[in-house]
Amino acid sequence: MSSLFLAQACFFGYHQQRQVKAAAESIMKSPARKREPQTLTVLGIETSCDETSAAVVRDGALLSNITATQLFHSAYGGVVPELASRAHQQRIVPVVDEALRAAGVEKKDLDAIAAVYGPGLVGSILVGLSFGKAMALGLGIPFVGVNHMEAHIVSNLIEAPKPDFPFVNLTVSGGHTQLVLVKGALEYELLGETKDDAVGEAFDKVAKMLGLGYPGGPLIDRYAAKGDRTFVKFPRPYLEEGSLEFSFSGLKTAVLYYLKKIGFQKVQHRVVELNPEGYEEFLANVCASFQAAVIDVLVDKTTLAAKRCGVKDIAVAGGVAANSELRKRMQQAAEYFGLRVFIPKFEYCTDNGAMVAMVGFLKSTDGQTSSLELTAEPSLALH
C-alpha cells in the first residue's frame, strides 16, 4: 500500500466512513482472538495536539519513536488549532514512514495499528485517527483506539525500571492535571483532577504575563533555577483539607494581581543588554516563587494519594513531568515517605507515539480492538 493512498485516506469524510463499515466488518465484527506477546507488532500514532509522532512496538519492546514538533506556534503565543491540523496532514506520511524504517519493519509485518481518538484538539486528532483507521483497513489488520490520558500513564511502562501495580500516577500537561490509581494493566481509578486550568496552562499564562514567550513551562523552569522561591509568598491552592482535586486559576490570578500591584511592565522580545538593571533577577524570583507554589501542591497531593491508597510506587507523566524542579522535589518526597518514584525519559513526557503504541500492544494482547467508525472525542474522559 503506497504512502499516496494513505495520505488520501486521511481525508475520508463521515459519509465515506459509513461506506468503510461494510468492508471492515469482516475484520472487526468477530470477537478478537487473544495474541501471544511474542507475535505482535503494533504501530502507534499520536496527533492530539501539536506533535506528529509514530512508533513501533514489538513483543512489548519499543523499536522506534519518531516525533515532529510544530515549533512555529511560539510566534502566536499558543497552539493554533487550524495550523496544527494542517501541519499534521503534511507530516503524518513521512513520520510514519520513518518510524517503520527506523524499526526495520515493513507495513506487511504489522499486526495492529493504534491511534489516539481523544482528548485533544479535534482537528489534530482526526488526522492521526483517520490515517490509522485507513491504514488498518488497507492492510486488513485490527485498529485500536487509544485514550491520550491512558497513553501518558503507560509512558512509565515503556522502559525499565517500571512501577509495580498498583501505583499512583500524576499526569501533568498543558491540557490536563490528574491523579489516577493504576490498579493493573488497563485498569484505572480517577482520584482527582483539575477543576479549571491545567498546570501546563497555568505555566503558559504566567509566562505570557511576564513576557517570556511560549511554551511557558520550559522558560519558567529555566528562570526559576536562578531565582529565590521565597521572593513572593503565592497561595498554595490545596482546596479543602484532604482533597485530591486541583485548581490553578486562583494562583494564576494571584500572580496577575501581584504584577499589577507593583506596576510591572513586561518587555516583549527583549534584548538582555537593554533591560533595566535587575529585571532578569526579578523575573527569575517571580518564576521561582510561582513554580514553588505549583510544585508544593502537586507533590503533597501525590504523596497523600499514595498514602491513602496504600501504594509504594508513584509515577509522574505528561509534558510538565519534564520540569526539573518537579522531578527533584518528587524524588525528595518519595525518599522521605519511603516511596519509589518513576518518571519517564524526557522524550516520553511530551506527546509521543511510543506511549500510544504501548497501549495498542497491551490492548491487542488482551483481545481489545476498536470499530472503524470510532470518532474523535476532544473531551474524552479516562475510563
| Grid-cell match 515517605, residue found | 337
Contact 363, 186 (CB under 8 A): yes
CATH fold of 162-343 reads Nucleotidyltransferase; domain 5 (3.30.420)
CA dihedral 326, 329, 332, 333 (to 10 degrees): -90
pLDDT tens track for 199-234: 999 999 999 999 998 999 999 999 999 999 999 999
Residue 257's identity, in one-letter code, is Y
Residues in the chain predicted with pLDDT less than 70, given as ranges, are 1-38, 267-277
Instruction: State residue 17's pLDDT score.
Output: 41
Candidates 43, 54, 139, 42; CA nearest to 88 is 54
Fold match between domain 3-154+350-365 and domain 162-343: yes
Contact 289, 230 (CB under 8 A): yes
Number of neighbouring beta carbons within 10 Å of residue 265: 9
The pTM of this model reads 0.87
Q: Tell me how far apart the alpha carbons of residues 220 and 348 are, in angstroms, rounded to a whole number.
A: 21
Strand order across the 51-58 sheet: 61-69, 51-58, 41-46, 112-118, 143-147
Number of neighbouring beta carbons within 10 Å of residue 3: 13
Which residues on adjacent β-strands are paired with residue 194?
A: 246
| Grid-cell match 503534511, residue found | 90
CATH fold of 3-154+350-365 reads Nucleotidyltransferase; domain 5 (3.30.420)
Instruction: State residue 38's pLDDT score.
Output: 56
Residue 374's identity, in one-letter code, is L
Cis peptide before 378 (omega within 30 of 0): no
- Backbone angles phi and psi of 126, in degrees to 5: -60, -35
Residue 208's identity, in one-letter code, is K
- Backbone angles phi and psi of 215, in degrees to 5: -75, 145
153 CB-near residues (< 8 Å, 6+ apart): 169, 171, 180, 182, 188, 315, 317
200 CB-near residues (< 8 Å, 6+ apart): 172, 173, 174, 175, 177, 217, 318, 319, 320
Instruction: State residue 75's pLDDT score.
Output: 79
Q: Supply the DSSP symbol for 164.
A: P
Q: Tell me how far apart the alpha carbons of residues 259 and 207 are, in angstroms, rounded to a whole number.
A: 12
What are the residue boundaries of the structural domains of the chain, listed by start?
Answer: 3-154+350-365, 162-343
pLDDT tens track for 60-99: 999 999 999 888 887 788 889 899 999 999 999 999 999 9
